[in-house]
Amino acid sequence: MGFRIGLGFLVLVSLCCTVKPQCSKSCDALASYYVWQGTNLSFIGDIMNTTDATIVTYNKDSVPNINSVRFGIRVNVPFTCGCINSDFHGQMFEWDVRTGDTYDQIAKIFYSNLTTVEDLEWFNSYDPNNILNNAKVNVTVNCTCGNSTVSEDYGLFITYPLRPEDSLDSIAETEQLDQALLQRYNPGVNFSQGSGFVYIPGKGLSFCC
């Protein structure tokens, strides 16, 4: 009898623990930042906890030097894809609030849609209509370390906010990737939806392995 109960318990434990490990490891990741008019690499570096010089090294083709970033392009910004609340892969950045900042501006302009207003409301205890001056706002950016069911060939992923001009076709073409592979990493996502984000495997970008 005791043996049976013990066995049942073991089965329960193993069931619970095979569902659990959502993010056990961390990895390098990239954020695709759409450069809006009026911003520059030092600003992007500041808010993404890196430097303008580092960003240049990841974007040699499109950004020859720190002063030559053009508005309307995307730059890949490196960050560490860690674990948020032991629950999902992401990184938490800090935004220093200036007078009049709103979650809407922080998500849609300053972080170029790498985060959302909903996430800002979720991860910060402030009254959304009255964020205190000089406060720090938690900004989460989601990421992935891959999915061995899909492929073992990729170890570095770009968190890529979709814009109205994007499609599965255009992204596959630009990134030189197979459309079916891109879709498998983003099951059910409509690449033409104009908002939200997808994960794009980085080709030849990985430093490790």
Ligand X SMILES: *[C@@H]1O[C@H](CO)[C@@H](O)[C@H](O)[C@H]1NC(C)=O
Residues near ligand X (CB under 6 A): 34, 36, 38-40, 42-43, 49, 88, 91, 93, 108-109, 112-113, 115-116, 119, 124-126, 138, 142, 147, 149-150, 184, 187, 190, 192-195
- Rounded to a whole number of angstroms, the minimum distance from the CB of residue 110 to ligand X is 8
**What DSSP letter does each residue of 85-120 carry, written as one string?**
TTTEEEEEEEEE--TT--HHHIIIIITTTSS-HHHH
Output 76 or 142, the one with its CB closest to ligand X: 142
- For the bound state, the minimum distance from the C-beta of residue 186 to ligand X, rounded and expressed in Å, comes to 9
Burial class (CB in 10 A: 0-12, 13-18, 19+), 46: middle
Closest distance to ligand X from the beta carbon of 146 (Å) = 9
β-bridge mates for residue 73, sequence order: none
Smallest gap from Cβ 91 to ligand X, in A, equals 6
Of the two residues 9 and 88, which places its CB atom closer to ligand X in the complex? 88
From CA 56, how far away is CA 41, in angstroms rounded? 8
**How would you classify the pairing of strands 27-34 and 157-161?**
parallel
- Whichever of 198 and 202 has its CB closer to ligand X, that residue is 198
